[in-house]
């Protein structure tokens, strides 16, 4: 329907040579031809139209008179005579188009003014009509649009069937549409460069932003606002961002992203599996941002400027390393703590053999020897219990467990010791509940025996028989 003619030959050259992603079409470089619109449904043209009544006759004849003068009608239009692309015969049918569209618009207003959506119906139709007049290259305006608007405005004003507030709404729309300030020229290449910088700057490398990156890469989010779809033209208007409004929209987007996705929210949702790793990523991103920004100093003295830049850089490096080291230390501590835990979970730590009781299994025989060399001995050479007091075993375990500087026996519960000892020593038979480990043995010289065991251990140690 729209027929656009590019009138600036340089533009075509630019289009072919440009290395930029977007090519900007300036309103001074093209003309949109006017086009006819069909009569609305149910419209019946009156007999002798446009000479059917005084109003239509006047609208038609005044436009005819004006087009005869055109482009000598005003100073602005006079300049058209110097334009090589201008051909007056293209605009000669305009008077009939104007009066027809006035009549169509009257029909639509009469039909729709009582509808609940009268405002959308009527303004969509007005927009449809206004756009059909096309446009001359800037600054020559639109041929015939003034005549259409002036007459339809007059018709609405004097129409007693339209309520006052509806009149004001419709006339307000026409007035606003006419006075629309042309959009501030926006070069999409400038917007695209801003966007690419933002993509590079935003910390998409952080774990919780990674999945979002693909949503933003390769996009051109330059539309500020999408309007309602016009029910007559079928078109949806879109407003392109200016540089300033695009900056603001990116600021809003940044704020939205960082407030909706962050450590707190990830933690609450249970996604923060490795907070220290995230912390390190954040420390790195912070340093990267500062490095991307670079270092400058306002000092007028060149030497001082240089010194201050280096000083500021050193301070940042020190801070970065300090944060990094703290985080890495935390990570190391965590992994140390994690190991015994996972071992506990993965492996049954219950000792199976007598040697398993010992921190160093090689010491099991020499510690056994203690029970044979005590006076009187408690076991014989074939590990049979020959003593008179089973209280020696808990005592023996206690001394080995608390041995300095390193314990010789690992810590287990009483029943574990009891099971291993009963298996290892024939005839020992410690009770099922290992009560021997909690009993007080009045007839056992506990202190004397403890001292004896320690002395023997010390002798073994000095003679090198006790391994570490």
Applying CB under 5 A, the residues found at the interface with Zn ion are 52-53, 56, 73-74, 77
CB of 257 to Zn ion, least distance (A): 52
- Is residue 71 within a helix (H) or strand (E), and if so which, with residue range? none
CB of 288 to Zn ion, least distance (A): 60
CB of 56 to Zn ion, least distance (A): 3
* DSSP letters spanning 375-420: SS-SB-TT-BB--S-TTHHHHHHHHHHT-SSS-SB----HHHHHHH
CB of 177 to Zn ion, least distance (A): 20
- Is residue 73 within a helix (H) or strand (E), and if so which, with residue range? none
CB of 106 to Zn ion, least distance (A): 9
| Residue 404 near residue 457 (C-beta atoms within 8 A) | no
Distance of CA 270 to the CA centre of its chain: 18
Residue 58 or 454: the one with the smaller Cβ distance to Zn ion is 58
CB of 4 to Zn ion, least distance (A): 22
Residue 56 or 390: the one with the smaller Cβ distance to Zn ion is 56
Location of structure tokens 């801003």: 194
CB of 103 to Zn ion, least distance (A): 7
What is the C-alpha separation between 111 and 103, in angstroms, rounded? 12
Residue 74 or 264: the one with the smaller Cβ distance to Zn ion is 74
What is the C-alpha separation between 274 and 250, in angstroms, rounded? 30
Orientation of helix 118-131 relative to helix 145-157, angle to 10°: 150
| Residue 436 near residue 394 (C-beta atoms within 8 A) | yes
Looking at beta carbons, which pairs linking 407-411 to residues 24 or more positions away fall under 8 Å? 407/359, 408/358, 408/359, 408/360, 408/363, 408/367, 408/457, 408/466, 409/357, 409/358, 409/359, 409/367, 410/351, 410/357, 410/358, 410/359
Residue 106 or 121: the one with the smaller Cβ distance to Zn ion is 106
Would you state the torsion angle of the CA atoms of residues 359, 360, 364, 365, taken in this order, to the nearest 10 degrees? -160
Residue 80 or 457: the one with the smaller Cβ distance to Zn ion is 80
CB of 53 to Zn ion, least distance (A): 3
Residue 105 or 233: the one with the smaller Cβ distance to Zn ion is 105
Residue 46 or 251: the one with the smaller Cβ distance to Zn ion is 46
Count CB neighbours of 395 within 10 A.
18
Residue 4 or 81: the one with the smaller Cβ distance to Zn ion is 81
- Between the alpha carbon of residue 1 and those of residues 82, 108, 128, the distances in Å are 28, 21, 12
CB of 51 to Zn ion, least distance (A): 8
- Is residue 245 within a helix (H) or strand (E), and if so which, with residue range? helix 243-260
Residue 76 or 322: the one with the smaller Cβ distance to Zn ion is 76
């Amino acid at each position: 329907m729209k027929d656009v003619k590019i009138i600036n030959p340089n533009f075509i050259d630019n289009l072919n040579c440009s290395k930029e992603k977007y090519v900007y079409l300036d309103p001074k470089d093209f003309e949109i031809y006017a086009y006819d619109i069909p009569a609305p449904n149910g419209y019946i043209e009156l007999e002798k139209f446009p000479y059917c009544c005084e109003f239509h006759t006047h609208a038609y004849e005044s436009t005819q008179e004006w087009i005869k003068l055109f482009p000598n009608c005003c100073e602005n239009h006079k300049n058209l005579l110097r334009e090589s692309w201008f051909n007056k015969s293209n605009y000669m049918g305009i008077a009939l188009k104007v009066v027809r569209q006035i009549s169509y618009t009257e029909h639509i207003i009469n039909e729709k003014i009582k509808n609940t959506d009268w405002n959308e119906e009527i303004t969509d139709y007005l927009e449809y009509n206004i756009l059909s007049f096309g446009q001359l290259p800037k600054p020559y305006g639109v041929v015939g649009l003034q005549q259409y608007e002036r007459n339809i405005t007059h018709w609405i004003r004097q129409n007693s069937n339209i309520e006052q507030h509806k009149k004001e709404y419709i006339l307000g729309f026409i007035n606003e549409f006419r006075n629309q300030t042309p959009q501030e020229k926006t070069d999409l290449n400038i917007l695209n460069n801003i966007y690419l910088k933002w993509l590079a700057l935003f910390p998409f490398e952080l774990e919780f932003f990674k999945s979002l990156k693909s949503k933003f890469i390769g996009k051109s989010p330059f539309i500020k606002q999408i309007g309602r779809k016009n029910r007559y033209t079928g078109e949806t208007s879109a407003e392109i961002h200016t540089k300033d409004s695009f900056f603001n929209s990116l600021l809003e987007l940044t704020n939205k992203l960082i407030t909706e996705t962050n450590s707190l929210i990830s933690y609450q949702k249970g996604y923060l599996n490795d907070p220290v790793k995230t912390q390190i990523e954040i420390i790195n991103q912070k340093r990267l941002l500062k490095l991307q920004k670079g270092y400058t100093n306002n000092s007028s003295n060149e030497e001082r400027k240089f010194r201050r830049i280096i000083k500021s850089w050193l301070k940042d490096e020190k801070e970065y390393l300090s944060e990094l080291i703290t985080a890495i230390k935390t990570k190391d501590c965590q992994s140390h703590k994690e190991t015994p835990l996972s071992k506990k979970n993965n492996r049954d730590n219950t000792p199976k053999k007598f040697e398993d009781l010992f921190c160093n299994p090689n010491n099991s025989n020499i510690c056994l020897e203690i029970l044979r060399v005590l006076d009187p001995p408690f076991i014989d050479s074939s590990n049979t219990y020959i003593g008179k007091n089973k209280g020696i075993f808990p005592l023996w375990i206690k001394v080995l467990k608390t041995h300095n500087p390193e314990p010789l026996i690992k810590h287990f519960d009483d029943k574990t010791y009891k099971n291993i000892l009963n298996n290892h020593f024939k005839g020992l038979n410690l009770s099922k509940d290992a009560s021997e480990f909690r009993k007080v043995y009045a007839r056992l010289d506990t202190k004397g025996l403890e001292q004896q065991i320690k002395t023997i251990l010390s002798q073994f140690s000095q003679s090198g028989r006790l391994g570490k």
